[in-house]
Structure 1
Amino acid sequence: MTWGKTALAIGIVCAIGAGAAGCSVAAVGRCVDYVSMTPAEQARQATLVVDADVRSTDRTVEAFGRYRVYEATVTASRKGGKLHDRIDVIATSDQCTTSGQPVEYVDGDPLAEPGSYRLSLTRVRGGGPWQLVVPGAAERLDG
């Protein structure tokens, strides 16, 4: 088989395999290998670092996967925030994401329990909610 025919055969096999696996171009997500960061490195990389009271909402947002939106009321500003601002936050997934599907986490969503957290955040592209700068960039403050 010539190189051109081999490439075509591989392409057809991949297309059939993706279809059989339930994949489609519209459902493409992303896989990101985040660099492990200390809390100090997270703070340096973040645009916004705040202590905040966090609670779940019934809203979701699509950002390469469906994320639960949390409402955070800022109680202390460490970098870039204003005291008592209310901001929307999502917990960055540590797993590959698929557009339209709920995101997954290896050890569970780090913001699932309401409470006080120190959050190292960056803005979601396109002006959406704030997101953890890396997965796990939420330090529980109240036990």
Structure 2
Amino acid sequence: MKKLAGFTLIELMITVAIVGILAAIAYPSYLNQVRQSRRADAQSALLQAANRQERFFTTQYSYATTLEELGMTPETENEAYTLSIDPGQPANRFEITATAVADHDQANDVCTTLTVNERGEKTANGAGVNAPISQQCW
């Protein structure tokens, strides 16, 4: 009798099941890492804007009220967050906010809003978490 070489249907189904289980574990972890990377980009943009605000203050004796005055665009490099300067602040104060774009996957992150001010205070808002959110986001 001739012996046939190849995979049985059972072996193939076991392989598919193992790949499915690995993908179910790995994909959410991958998405979380991508969101953290985008958040780091937003943090970098906020700190760059704060640095430019201080430079602007040394020449103008007041903080800028728009990002255009600082030579920045309202989106982060990866377009996951939008930056804004709170216009209601006095001339000797500023508050810059990065907000996750609503129709972007970043809106599913635990840190949807990051803020920094002239005193270097960093705050964050987002979905409910156990530890203080600012510690997890910054």
Bigger helix share: 2
- TM-score normalized with structure 1 length: 0.27
Higher relative contact order (CA 8 A, sep 6+): 1
If you compute each CA radius of gyration, which structure gives the higher value, 1 or 2?
2
User: TM-score normalised to the size of structure 2?
Assistant: 0.28
- Which one has the bigger strand percentage? 1
